[in-house]
């Protein structure tokens, strides 16, 4: 799918709150997640190498697990939370505030990465869940690479709306996500990977021949 001619042009923001402070929390410069989460990743990796006695195989396994679990979390959050079919007015507003606004203004540069105010809440609850199932020696590297996976998602998402992404793999992701916006509904929830669309049945079927 080709971009619209004005796809890189600035797009007016949709106001979500009357209160200026709350409204400001919904906007974020794209570099902010990197600046905010990089020290957390560095701290987790420091703890990994200075405290935990993990062998190389264990570290690689924890890193891969963090990445894979992130792709699943990304998919489930996008499909089940951001596209939740709310029935109440309050529910519809919350869904719109979290994600519907992006579909209405997909080129709004200040709403293409997740603001830390919301990301911290989501990450806190996920952190508590992971702590119940991931043993301590592996928890820190698992979380570090889970967050790295999240940052990859954020910047792939930003790039799909604002950069050419000419490398074949990145171009595929760009087209794939734009088709989520402009193609058939209920498909293509993966942004950084189509893996879980393939596994869970939301990958688009092949076009019929003839």
Do residues 30 and 113 lie in contact, with contact meaning Cβ atoms separated by under 8 Å? yes
Q: Does 170 reside within a domain?
A: yes
Q: Is the pLDDT of residue 17 over 70?
A: yes
∠107-34-199 over CA atoms, to 5°? 70
* Two tokens, residue 78: 């996008």
Q: Does 12 reside within a domain?
A: no
114-160 residue pLDDT tens? 888 888 988 999 999 999 999 888 899 999 999 999 999 999 999 99
Q: Does 7 reside within a domain?
A: no
Q: Does 1 reside within a domain?
A: no
Q: Does 193 reside within a domain?
A: yes
**What CA dihedral angle connects 26, 27, 32 and 38, to 10 degrees?**
20
User: Domain tally for the chain?
Assistant: 1
Domain with 154, as residue range(s), is 20-200
Q: Does 8 reside within a domain?
A: no
Q: Does 15 reside within a domain?
A: no
Q: Is the pLDDT of residue 78 over 50?
A: yes
Q: Does 5 reside within a domain?
A: no
């Amino acid at each position: 799918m080709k971009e619209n001619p004005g796809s890189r042009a600035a797009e007016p923001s949709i106001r979500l709150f009357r209160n200026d402070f709350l409204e400001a929390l919904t906007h974020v410069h794209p570099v902010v997640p990197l600046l905010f989460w990089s020290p957390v990743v560095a701290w987790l990796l420091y703890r990994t190498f200075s405290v935990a006695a993990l062998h190389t195989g264990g570290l690689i396994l924890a890193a891969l697990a963090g990445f894979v679990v992130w792709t699943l979390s990304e998919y489930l959050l996008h499909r089940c939370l951001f596209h939740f079919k709310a029935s109440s007015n309050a529910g519809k507003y919350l869904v719109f505030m979290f994600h519907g606004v992006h579909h209405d203004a997909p080129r709004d540069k200040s709403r293409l990465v997740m603001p830390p105010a919301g990301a911290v809440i989501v990450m806190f609850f996920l952190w508590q869940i992971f702590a119940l199932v991931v043993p301590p020696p592996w928890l820190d590297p698992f979380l570090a690479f889970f967050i790295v996976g999240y940052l990859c998602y954020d910047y792939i998402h930003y790039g799909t709306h604002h950069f050419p992404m000419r490398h074949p793999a990145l171009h595929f992701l760009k087209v794939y996500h734009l088709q989520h916006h402009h193609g058939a509904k209920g498909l293509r929830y993966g942004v950084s990977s189509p893996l879980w669309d393939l596994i869970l049945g939301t990958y688009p079927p092949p076009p019929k021949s003839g």
